């Protein structure tokens, strides 16, 4: 059961910190406009590969979609994609004055990041190349729009797969950076949780409803619809602070920073570690690696500033080149200090790499893992603690965020045709032969009030 408790507590820690990674990745995708760029690339491919073959042969030259004939998209394809993804003025009033600035204007540009099939057909009708499809006969128009919808969805699936694989890579890179920044050594953390049942129990029960809702909100929001990082950051900081207050072995108090430790003089043997009482940090947590004599030497070296290093060398550098030489010597001195405790540093680096990879899996993954483990781990955590903390009251409520895209998901040919004709202004009701016959019968009934549907008219003498 201690294994289950440790795993649940570890999942709780990673779930909270993975929300940081998810929010950062979402912010990068928004700042770099990766989603709208992917949409543009997909529409350029549609223009070059499909649109020209769908247009009728009598299309005027000015409205004809001209393929580039190479892997590089044509200028016409770029213009077509821009016209499709550009939002209407009513949708894009925010930051309108910044969009014209050079270099950073694209960050605030209003571009559609996704479109349903029906929205695409409606937007296609607003372009001169797409409006040319209206020259088809009704049956041919329906076939052309169905083909356009099929190709749009096919290209969209391919683009989505590429985007997801790229997002995973970015997430892992960001996870590594976050692990280094917060000093998250996954191996040390799990080892501590597996041997400290009380800490594991406190962490498992500390995932109250508020923290679960926070993680679930990040996990369940649609890509591109995540709340602003400025609104999410305080809640994430509070959740992470609550976990750190319980004594999790994460942060600068841990190896290799070892901040807040007080040491007694070490023995002559550099491999000997001081006792636990001699290497306790200010908040009461003990990391035996920080008690090693070798690590004390490393800490003293790292605490040495560049100015103090120059004073020790009795050096007065003359000019930029001379200063740079001393600077590289100073950095080499610090790197050499790592070599004096190389084994511990290698294990720490491995733990950070593992932590970065786990954080890169994202909040959705760890929310599911903790939800599955908590049902079995919470009773064990309550039994472990003499004064149990308040457990999460039941399963977390599902928080559904309304999408700002209207639910027009239909790919039915009639819906596509109706949307296309409405946009270009030919919104007449097109009826089938059966409908026309039914209408004729209805008009006949109106002309003969005594006649009922299916009844023969009265015979006259």
Q: What is the pLDDT of residues 47-102, one digit of tens each?
A: 988 888 898 888 888 888 877 666 677 788 888 888 888 765 544 455 555 555 55
Could you tell me the pLDDT band of residue 415, with boundaries at 50, 70 and 90? Answer: confident
Q: Which of these ranges, 25-34, 241-250, 391-400, has the smallest mean pLDDT?
A: 391-400
Whether the predicted pLDDT of 124 surpasses 80: yes
Q: Is the pLDDT confidence value at 128 over 70? A: yes
Residue 170 is predicted with a pLDDT of: 94
Q: Is the model's pTM score more than 0.85? A: no
In terms of Cα–Cα distance, which of 363, 367, 383 is closest to 18?
A: 363
Rounded CA gap, 259 and 330, in Å?
21
Residue 269: pLDDT band with limits 50, 70, 90? very low
What residues does 292 pair with on adjacent strands?
273
Inter-helix orientation angle 342-359/2-31, to 10°: 70
Q: How would residue 347 be classed by pLDDT, with cut points 50, 70 and 90?
A: very high
pLDDT score, position 180: 92
pLDDT at 241 over 50: yes
Please provide the average confidence, as pLDDT, over all residues in the chain.
73
pLDDT level of residue 219 (50, 70, 90 thresholds): low
How large a percentage of the chain has pLDDT more than 70?
64
Q: Are 219 and 363 in contact (CB under 8 A)?
A: yes
Angle at 86 between CA 171 and CA 131, to 5 degrees: 130
What tokens appear for 255 in the block? 């190896």
**pLDDT for residue 384:** 76
Choice between 133 and 295, residue whose per-residue pLDDT is larger: 133
pLDDT, greater one: 169 or 260: 169
Q: Are 333 and 312 in contact (CB under 8 A)?
A: no
Q: How confident is the model at residue 189, as a pLDDT?
A: 92
Task: Please state which of the ranges 39-53, 147-161, 367-381 shows the lowest mean pLDDT.
Answer: 367-381
Residue 218: strand, helix, or coil: helix
Band of pLDDT at residue 455, cut at 50, 70 and 90 = very low
Give me the mean pLDDT over the 273-298 stretch: 57
């Amino acid at each position: 059961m201690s294994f289950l408790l440790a795993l649940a507590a570890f999942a709780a820690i990673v779930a909270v910190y993975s929300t940081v990674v998810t929010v950062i990745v979402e912010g990068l995708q928004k700042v770099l406009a990766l989603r709208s760029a992917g949409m543009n690339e997909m529409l350029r491919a549609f223009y070059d590969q499909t649109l020209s073959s769908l247009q009728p042969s009598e299309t005027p030259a000015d409205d004809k979609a001209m393929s580039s004939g190479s892997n590089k998209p044509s200028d016409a394809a770029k213009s077509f994609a821009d016209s499709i993804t550009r939002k209407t003025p009513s949708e894009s009033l925010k930051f309108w004055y910044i969009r014209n600035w050079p270099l950073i204007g694209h960050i605030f540009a209003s571009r559609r990041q996704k479109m349903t099939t029906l929205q695409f057909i409606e937007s296609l009708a607003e372009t001169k190349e797409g409006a040319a499809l209206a020259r088809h006969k009704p049956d041919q128009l329906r076939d052309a729009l169905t083909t356009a919808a099929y190709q749009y969805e096919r290209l969209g699936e391919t683009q989505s797969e590429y985007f997801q694989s790229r997002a995973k890579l970015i997430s892992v890179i960001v996870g590594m950076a976050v692990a280094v920044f917060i000093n998250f050594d996954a191996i040390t953390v799990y080892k501590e949780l597996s041997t400290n049942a009380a800490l594991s129990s406190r962490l498992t029960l500390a995932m109250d409803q508020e923290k679960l809702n926070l993680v679930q909100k990040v996990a369940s929001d649609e890509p591109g619809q995540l709340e602003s990082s400025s609104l999410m950051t305080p809640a994430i900081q509070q959740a992470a602070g609550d976990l750190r207050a319980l004594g999790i072995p994460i942060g600068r108090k841990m190896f290799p920073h070892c901040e807040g430790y007080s040491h007694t003089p070490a023995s002559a043997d550099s491999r000997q570690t001081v006792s636990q009482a001699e290497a306790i940090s200010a908040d009461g947590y003990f990391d035996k690696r920080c008690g090693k004599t070798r690590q004390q030497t490393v800490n003293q070296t790292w605490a040495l500033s560049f100015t103090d290093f120059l004073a020790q060398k009795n050096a007065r550098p003359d000019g930029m080149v001379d200063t740079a030489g001393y600077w590289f010597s100073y950095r080499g001195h610090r790197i050499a200090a790592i070599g004096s405790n190389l084994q511990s540093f290698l294990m720490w680096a491995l733990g950070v790499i593992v932590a970065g990879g786990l954080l890169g899996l994202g909040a959705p993954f760890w929310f599911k893992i903790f939800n599955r483990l908590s049902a079995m781990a919470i009773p064990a955590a309550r039994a472990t603690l003499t004064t149990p903390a308040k457990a999460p009251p039941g399963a977390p409520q599902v928080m559904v965020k309304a999408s700002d895209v209207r639910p027009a998901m239909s790919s039915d040919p009639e819906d596509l045709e109706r949307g296309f004709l409405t946009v270009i202004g030919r919104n007449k009701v097109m009826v089938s032969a059966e409908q026309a016959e039914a209408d004729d019968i209805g008009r006949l009934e109106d002309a003969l009030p005594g006649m009922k549907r299916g009844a023969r008219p009265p015979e006259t003498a």
